[in-house]
Chain A
């Protein structure tokens, strides 16, 4: 059996990849995908802990995370389209109307 720590380390790595992607990528869609990666990293640790505690609660939580991520994606893509209409670019470096 694969020990718990393997899953946790993998989920930590996935989460860290997501954070890195969020910070260094410049395209909004890619940034958005990085956030999804972070959420999936979290999902993995939920499932791993659910197995560790023999608690279904953790697995159910994953479903909720998926549903919420889908809702977030729907709203997020709509916002991205609204931005593209006024700006004609998806580069975050050019989102600089609001600055000190």
Chain B
């Protein structure tokens, strides 16, 4: 544990470095530009940054291994989440151009914060040391706390930010307590060293409590029940593109951490924890969504339900379950970012038009947008030929393979219930006349590109899921094999 970091170490955090540098550049340039014209320039810089980061993650894939004294582990699993999270960031930046000018928010920090948040999420997926996981979690959370309150003049937005912040730090404290107890139980904070300590025949009882507490903290971040209370309020108040961002990217990253902690570290007592949380999330999310009239709120409840489906995959057998979960995060990201891109375009100044009634007659007023939103909603239901179908299919087949018949039945019934409220939006768009004249704008280039990308991803995952799934399966296998060096490590390596 001595000496300076090598070049290989830096290559293994290359995407994070790229994103940080571009984020800093955005922050430095922000005061130099004229306020009215800075948006587009700074946004473009941020966009380039995230595209370079995607390339860096792909490049990084050729250099798997550990970095910074076993703090970071680059493997297929981490590369998958790197690419996913940075792509989400790029699409959200594209969506934001128009939204920011319509809402008259003039602040370049917005793009900087998206990049910094993405740094945290990338680190979360590659960190194998609980210290680093904690810091990465906070980097991503603190950025999203601020982003949630970006419509500063709206009371609802700052309230959303406050609720997110208070409950978020509350949950972080639980996560941290879990880390402390895990350190106490095993004598290490490195996942690869915790894992052999927990494989012994007598697992220290403290470890069970530690896993439960860490699950509370991460369950909050992924909005799974019973830690979901904040979700509808925050999603309703936060700016629409940011909701698209925080319902997918931090969630994907938190699921990555959860996968690492639960499976790579062999957390004890995880099964029932996941089982109950999955059932609760699916039921509460879908029942809550049934009565909503605000579209953002409705999708917030739907995102709770989707966290539940994802947790079903966690309850299933390791390899198949992990790969199903990875596929699900990707498919969910594609459709949800797309849906929120449409919503943010349609919301108009001050986010005036976000209720279900405002969507009446959208099919006539703006056929292209209505058709796009319909595809995303059908994918969220899980109709074949969309990404959502295969995502659900793999999750439930993984659950069946692990003989979780009860959980599968609950999940399938829930997806049937969910179809009702998604279809309701589609019915309102096409079958009902609008009561008031809502202005329709053309689709600008940035938003158009964002929609095309998410649409293409949704359809691609629905028609040709093989490649992504194979990749996910390969990296899940890799994740399960802890290196021999870690297995040889003793229980008390500490120093």
Contact = CB atoms under 8 A, between A and B. Distances in A.
B264 to A, nearest CB: 19
Q: Binding site of A, secondary structure by majority: helix, strand, loop or mixed?
A: helix
A75 B145 contact: yes
Interface string B180-202: 11011001110000000000000
A49 B184 contact: yes
Contact of B166 (A32, A48, A53, A61): A32
A28 B162 CA distance: 9
A36 B95 CA distance: 37
Interface residues of A, number: 46
Contacts of B169: 32, 35, 72, 76
A98 B237 contact: yes
B177 interface: yes
B173 A18 contact: yes
A60 interface: yes
B165 A60 contact: no
B236 A61 contact: no
Most chain A beta-carbon contacts within 10 A, residue among B142, B183, B232, B492:
B183
Interface in B435-493: 492
A31 B166 contact: yes
A79 B173 contact: no
A92 B183 CA distance: 35
Q: Binding site of B, secondary structure by majority: helix, strand, loop or mixed?
A: helix
B158 A83 contact: yes
B134 interface: yes
B161 interface: yes
B30 interface: no
B183 A72 contact: no
B318 interface: no
Contacts of B233: 98-99
A46 B180 contact: yes
Most chain A beta-carbon contacts within 10 A, residue among B152, B170, B176, B232:
B176
A68 interface: yes
B352 interface: no
A63 B323 CA distance: 36
A65 B154 CA distance: 32
B180 A45 contact: yes
B138 A68 contact: yes
Contacts of B177: 15, 38, 41-42, 45
B158 to A, nearest CB: 4
Interface of B: 131, 134-135, 138, 142, 145-146, 149, 152-156, 158-163, 165-166, 169-170, 172-173, 176-177, 179-181, 183-184, 187-189, 232-233, 236-237, 291, 492, 494-495
Interface of A: 8, 11, 15, 18, 22, 28, 31-32, 35, 38-39, 41-42, 45-46, 48-49, 52-58, 60-61, 64-65, 68, 71-72, 75-76, 78-80, 82-83, 85-87, 95, 97-100
